[in-house]
Amino acid sequence: MGTALKVLKLLDSFSLQQPELGLSQIARMNQINKATALRYLTNLADYGMVEQDPQSKLYSIGTAPLRLANLREAAKPRLTAARIVMKAQVLKVHETMHMSLLKSDQLQTTLVEETQAHSVRISIGTSEILPLHATASGIVSLAFGPRNLLQHVLDGSLPTYSEHTLTNPDRLMDLVDETLHKGWCESVSGYETGVHGFAAPIFGEEQTAIGAIACVIPQPRVTSDLRSAVLDALSIASKEITSVYGGQFPANYRLNQLQTS
Amino acid sequence: MGTALKVLKLLDSFSLQQPELGLSQIARMNQINKATALRYLTNLADYGMVEQDPQSKLYSIGTAPLRLANLREAAKPRLTAARIVMKAQVLKVHETMHMSLLKSDQLQTTLVEETQAHSVRISIGTSEILPLHATASGIVSLAFGPRNLLQHVLDGSLPTYSEHTLTNPDRLMDLVDETLHKGWCESVSGYETGVHGFAAPIFGEEQTAIGAIACVIPQPRVTSDLRSAVLDALSIASKEITSVYGGQFPANYRLNQLQTS
DNA sequence: ATACTGTGTTTCAATATATGAACCGCTTGG
DNA sequence: CCAAGCGGTTCATATATTGAAACACAGTAT
């Protein structure tokens, strides 16, 4: 492994829980010599990747990442990058996918990538607001999103959209729990009759989902082979779009293919 | 110079004008061997600092900076970091400073750091909207901000706030031109009588100001020594806050102490 | 067809660079 | 008052970096 890569990996020492670290601490975490750690950090600081508080001597993330992030956003906006990821997966599973993002309490459809493989396909409009309790994307958002969101939905009314819409708070909680364990969610005709929805979370800051990536399929086409392919696609898209948004997966998150229930 | 720093400096090859670069191009720009450039870029790509388009083989900024920028923003928000910078300068010049940011067409005061050194000092409220044509911060924003902003202001009315408010579009243009050359602006009683305002730009994406940092002083205290100290402070604050916002100075920008006119 | 010029990538001996144990000065706490 | 922790420095040793040359490939002009 090159020296430069080892230097860059020091950046992974910093986290939301420990945004500031001392020299010896960093050396211990990465199992490198203190002198080496100092040289690494000096290199990072020279470029602005980290900065050091003159008083406390503690290191933290610097301003260079902000500059580079601005540059990236200008050159390759998040939405564009996310769309590219989705296109690739749609070409693999031949089913329509959409991405929705949480705007305060609402789940807003932001990107839709329709498959060209079938004449019968689901059409969703951009900017559509999805009900949190009645869609796979919504359930995923409740399970992995901000803590207060679930309570807020349970406190409100749970409108009925189809005969299969979950309107019982207890059963909704069960589904959220199951989703937390599986890492993904399947909604069977919960929003529109005859439509299966599969969704996986998109994470922002560690631990919290900022939205969901989903695949919607007309019921007759759903087979176990297709389900398996869709989950693979969602797993990849979830990872890559999370990365495109600068997010991080919680340490314990995994998308489990096999249904454990 | 350490290898790691040389590797990091490759990131400076990318710009808004050239967001995608090839291997040979990068090697030439940085005057390093092609093989070395490849190793450097591989290191950067392994960490996600850059990414390579599989088809075109071109490199661009990757997603790691987004992740690190999120982390930094969570740990040390821009506003907090900017306030720290301002505090340090206020302690040096013993005069009140404020930072204002452009929100679409309006210049909104966002941070105020009052000096404790004088009993007579200017008080400004946060969230105050500053007139673009009548304050030093406003003129700086017109000079270095978005292209259409100046035209928009000239098209509208220019309200009078004091007997010294600039209401003549031609003289306003002159002041903007002068500000463009000097890199800073002084407003004498243009907004409130008896108040001198000094301002320098804060840049976001290259070439465009996102706001201004200013120092406001009661007229009787303004001396040439103080003016000189204030300009030094503004120069430093302008640089550091621009950096804290992940911005970059235009290549030709410089804050000129000596008034050339 | 053929030679030319530009890619990106690989190899390997020469050498410049990174490494880590020991040490220093300092602060903290028992 | 000593011991243990910290951040930072030194320098001989060892290891990782370097760059010329050669490679395969893709256009482009001869």
Q: What is the pLDDT of residues B194-223, one digit of tens each?
A: 999 999 999 998 789 999 999 999 999 999
Percent above pLDDT 70 for chain A: 98
At A101-148, the pLDDT tens digits run 999 899 999 999 999 988 888 888 888 999 999 999 999 999 999 999
Identify the architecture of domain B77-244 in CATH: 2-Layer Sandwich (3.30)
User: Distance, angstroms, CA B59 to C1' C3?
Assistant: 31
3-state secondary structure of B244: helix
Kindly tell me if the per-residue pLDDT of A205 is higher than 90.
Answer: no
CA distances from B197 to A66, B32, B164, B187 (A): 30, 48, 13, 5
User: Distance, angstroms, CA A30 to C1' C11?
Assistant: 32
**Contacts by B182-187, CB closer than 8 A, 24 or more apart:** B182/B255, B182/B256, B182/B259, B182/B260, B182/B261, B183/B253, B183/B254, B183/B255, B183/B256, B184/B140, B184/B231, B184/B234, B184/B255, B184/B256, B185/B136, B185/B139, B185/B140, B185/B143, B186/B136, B186/B227, B187/B134, B187/B135, B187/B136, B187/B139
Kindly tell me if the per-residue pLDDT of B258 is higher than 80.
Answer: no
Residues of A in contact with B79 (CB under 8 A): none
d(CA B210, CA B145) in angstroms, rounded, equals: 6
Q: Find, among B247, B153, B179, the residue nearest to B208 by Cα.
A: B247
Q: Average of pLDDT values for A175-184?
A: 96
Residue contact B63–A243, C-beta within 8 A: yes
Out of B67, B75, B245, the one facing A19 most closely (by C-beta) is B75
Kindly tell me if the per-residue pLDDT of A259 is higher than 80.
Answer: no
Identify the architecture of domain B3-67 in CATH: Orthogonal Bundle (1.10)
Tokens representing B4 are: 């790691």
> How many other CB atoms are found less than 10 A from the CB of residue B90?
20
Residue contact B62–A72, C-beta within 8 A: yes
pLDDT band at A261 (very low <50, low <70, confident <90, very high): very low
pLDDT reported for residue A213: 98
| Chains A & B: contacts with CB separation below 8 Å | 159
At B118-144, the pLDDT tens digits run 888 888 888 899 999 999 999 999 999
A3-67 and A77-244: same fold?
no
Q: Which residue of B has its CA nearest to A46?
A: B5
Establish if B45 touches chain A: CB-CB under 8 angstroms: no
User: Distance, angstroms, CA A3 to C1' D14?
Assistant: 15
Q: DSSP label at B21?
A: B
User: Domain spans of chain B?
Assistant: 3-67, 77-244
Per the CB < 8 A criterion, the answer to whether A50 and A59 are in contact is: yes
Establish if A62 touches chain B: CB-CB under 8 angstroms: yes
At A8-57, the pLDDT tens digits run 999 999 999 999 999 999 999 999 999 999 999 999 999 999 999 998 99
Kindly tell me if the per-residue pLDDT of B259 is higher than 60.
Answer: no
pLDDT reported for residue B261: 45
pLDDT band at A212 (very low <50, low <70, confident <90, very high): very high
pLDDT reported for residue B238: 98
